[in-house]
A and B are shown apart, each in its own frame.
Chain A
Amino acid sequence: MIKIENLEKVYKTEEVETTALNGINLHVKEGEFVSIMGPSGCGKSTLLNVMGLLDKPESGSYKFIDTELLTLNDRERSNFRKRNMGFVFQNFNLIDELTVFENIELPLIYNRIPASERKTLVNEIIERMNIVNRSGHFPQQLSGGQQQRVAVARALVTKPKLVLADEPTGNLDSSHGNEVMELLCELNETGTTIVMVTHSSHDASFSNRIINLKDGHVVSEKINKSRNEELI
């Protein structure tokens, strides 16, 4: 589904130029669960942001199914993103002024889904995420794990083809972290493609394939046999 070739990304600041991505090649099949690992500063988040069309690389090619995404203009990128992708961040990034329900509803509003349909979709996902009795709460009133479940719910509510998660468990203790990982697996089982950045090999063990980055390029790739067998 995703074909990334020779991706390069350079950050220029006043003093230094950092090559965050240095000729990345990466293919992701539909329905796959891919983990990206690597030392701090090796370009994981940058890669994820480029994949999520939040950042523009200097050169290379990024094909999604058969569409080349890097030549799109801002509006087309924004439209493509809201129809096809969902995000989960390490720091949840919920809007403090909106309730759980409203936070989850937001991407539907931007996708111009009619209000009545929005309500069913949101309620459906809230039930699935086991946060029904929290739907009127504000983010500050929730624990970290609950907040991350809301963030996952928000990423899923539009039924995206691709979910991008940047250290989704980074701010959570292990039991809450596992809850989130199980959610992602369930999701993957229903056919959603997932690309996740993580530092934890425990988390990575939930995925089909682990990609190792270093200094902006892929150094190794490992198929997670146990998981793939499970899948079969």
Chain B
Amino acid sequence: MFKLNLKIAWRNLWKNKGYTFINILGLSIGMASCILIFIFIRYQMSFDEGFKNEDRIYRLTTNWTSADGFAESQGVPKPTPAAFRNDFKNQVEKVGSIRQDGGVIKVKDDAGKERIKVQEDVFYAEPEFFQIMNFEWLEGNPNQSLTQPNTVVLSQEMANKLFGDWNKAVGKTINYQNRDNFTVSGILKDIPDNSSFPLNIVVSYQTFKNYKNENFNSWGNTSSNDECYFLLKPSVSIDEIRSILPKFSEKYFQKDNSGKEEISAQALTDVHYNENLGNFANRTMPKKELYGLAIIGAFLLLTACINFINLATAQAVSRSKEVGVRKVMGSLRKQLVFQFLTETLTISVLALLIACVLTEIALPGMRSLFQDNISFSIISHPIILVFIVVLVIVVSFLAGFYPAMVMSGFSPALAIKNKISANAGGLGLRKVLVVVQFSITVILIIGTLVVLKQMNYMREKPLGFNPSAIAMVSVRNDSLSLLKYQILQERVSKIPGVLSTSFCRNPPSSSNNNESNFRYNGTEKANFQVNTKVADENYFKTFGLTFAAGRGFSKSDTIREIVVNETALKKLNVVNFNDALGKKIRIWDKEGTLVGVVKDFNNLSLHEPISPVLITTVKENYRNLAVKMDSKQILAVMPKIEKIWNDTFPENFYSASFVDDDISQYYETERVMGVLFKVFAGVIIFISFIGLFGLISFVATQRTKEVAIRKVLGASTIELVRMLNGSFLIMVFIANLVAWPLAYLFISKWLSTFTYRIEISIWPFALAMIISMVITLITVSIRSFKAANANTIDALKYE
């Protein structure tokens, strides 16, 4: 019986090749998108998994509540781990610090010649950290390898890179920052990509504690580099810790009128998803984005299934006779439903095979879009196979069940006489489904238009300074390097094509920011903090900053003269900026004179408003040389800068980046989102319109006789085309009306995450309507024109 059904299924699919093709094409594209989205989500959800006791591991974080709002850091003040260990003895099993750092690693060969020089991330970790997180060790163990100062543990890959063979690495020495020599005391198994802990070089925390300039008693300083993890005792609930933490914070943090500082606890399982708190891998994936993707995937699949349902129910009429005959022969409805579901299953499986091929083809693009190492390996991730099987079953039921019910429900008496009318297959439902399908399509079109417009706006919005053709060349700030600043600057300035240079900590807009309290004009500490920028006197010229009042400061190595932005003075309630010139400002326990007010510039991403900014001179805090170049000569200039730099600092590692690249990096999420929207909108438009084409083909066939009669009665081709198109245009029009409010909600929510954003105008909506209506018109006209032009009389001959 099953074999016979399969045979009939196969013959039917073959007979209606056109519809089968449309169904399989739509379904396979929809399925491929779903599989891609699934493997991406699976990959993202696999981060930081598999640690023993993973549900008892937490990270301590710091947050500030102030008049300006709420801020969080993934780090804690350096004394926190010790204090926490002591105060929470009864609740917590282990507490371990880990600090991220980075610098130049050198390895010498046996003869003492420098063999390798690389810039690497380096971590300082307490043995407890590795007791909490059971990373796999190939050699050594946390207790032995990380208790002594100046010992280092390498990952297998890093050991291979530095010493050729990790088996021979233990006992050898590496040099860090031309300063320390560390002995290799252990080897870690390579940490997979899906980890928030890219630990390749881990130095004992004791080494860090021995540095003279590090202060382990100050609670007033929090660096996002200082993370701390703890392991809860099995019987203790995290709520208990959380209820005591406010008291703990109160006990240690200094009270101060500008805000309240607190320590809180974050579960390890949240580390990869929380975008407000970062992690060492610098990759977070907010869960809401994953949900968003899952929803888009569901939409895609739904759209494809709607095609299927529409075409199947439309075709149902032509199969009514078969149903009638089978019923007369004694087939039960259940058996018929089963038969039709077999057909759907056949189509779904075919579609799946194609979907797998499409997935493989699309995967490289997806990998480069997300810069993640996602793979479509059923063997290493059997869950993907489970998903695929579930997908096929769900699709078969979603797409097949309703048509099966319709067809199996035909009355045999009518069916045999071929008296089932074209409307029997749920014409009303078909219309509703088309409206749903096109609403989804229109929402995606509108969304895409708005996302692209906002991206464009961000690219083109004047930031208040000129970030183009400026390289930030990093420099060290140790005393030896400081001595060479002047010679470096002089030599770089002489390169033809270099317009201006400035030593500074950060460019005007940066994701590295320093906030500080200050006193204005001898009064109380201001009730807000300023974003501080330290730079030399050429900063304003190099970045094209302009003044609202006063001038730039003159050359100095320490705080002497100060420049602030307009926002800072407005927040201090200064109305006339000139009044402020000459006033004293006290910051970092030093005093300077306010000599200028720069016009406001965007110092953060366009998601954020402009902060109050203070710019002054502190030579030992510069970390970069900003080099403004003639944009046509960048390619020629950069290698020359590198050469001069390497001549000047032969011991160090040259690195440079472009300011405009760094700025566009702020919008990486939005860029990815833009690409996704474009792709998925394209896919959904394609699926919807091939579905529409299938449907109009069907309708045209169904109405051949009617078209012929009308033609005999004098209808012109245009009138016939208009008649056939009419209902489709109306459906798409209604879909637009349904889509607009939903799209409006969605885009206004998305745009509200930007402080600087485009106004929502009628245009994306109108454009989406025009696009959808025009494509509909073209799609259906192609087919209805053919129908209206077909030979009339043949259609009239027979009943």
Contacts and interface: CB of A to CB of B under 8 A. Distances in A.
Given A74-B717, A94-B709, A95-B706, 20 more contacts: A49-B793, A54-B793, A55-B793, A75-B716, A78-B715, A78-B716, A82-B713, A91-B799, A93-B705, A95-B709, A95-B710, A97-B706, A106-B713, A107-B713, A107-B714, A110-B710, A110-B714, A110-B715, A110-B719, A154-B713
18 contacts: A49-B793, A52-B712, A54-B712, A54-B793, A74-B717, A78-B714, A78-B716, A81-B712, A83-B714, A87-B712, A93-B705, A93-B709, A93-B712, A93-B796, A94-B709, A95-B709, A106-B710, A110-B713
Interface in A25-71: 45, 49, 52, 54-55
A101 interface: no
Interface string B701-735: 00001101111111111010000000000000000
A206 interface: no
Nearest to A46: B793
Interface extent on A, as a size class? 20 to 34
Contacts of A79: 714
Nearest to A80: B714
How would you classify the secondary structure of chain B's contact residues: helix, strand, loop or mixed? helix
A89 B712 CA distance: 11
Contacts of B719: 110
Interface of B: 421, 705-706, 708-717, 719, 792-793, 796-799
A96 B421 contact: yes
Contacts, number: 49
A143 interface: no
Contacts of B798: 91
Contacts of A75: 716
A124 to B, nearest CB: 18
Residue of B706, B714, B793 contacting most chain A CB atoms (<10 Å): B714
B418 to A, nearest CB: 13
Contacts of A83: 714
Contacts of A174: none
A111 interface: yes
A177 to B, nearest CB: 18
A214 to B, nearest CB: 21
Contact of B714 (A82, A89, A97): A82
Contacts of B714: 78-79, 81-83, 107, 110-111
A49 B793 CA distance: 8
Residue of B709, B715, B719, B793 contacting most chain A CB atoms (<10 Å): B709
Closest 3 interchain pairs by CB?
A: A82-B714, A110-B714, A107-B713
B713 A89 contact: no
Nearest to A82: B714
A91 B798 CA distance: 7
Interface string A92-120: 01111100000000110011000000000
B796 A89 contact: yes
Contacts of B796: 89, 91, 93
Contacts of A89: 796
B403 to A, nearest CB: 22
Nearest to B712: A87
Contacts of A106: 710, 713
A55 B713 CA distance: 14
Residue of B712, B796, B797 contacting most chain A CB atoms (<10 Å): B712
B177 to A, nearest CB: 85
A75 B710 CA distance: 14
Contacts of A49: 793
A55 B793 CA distance: 8
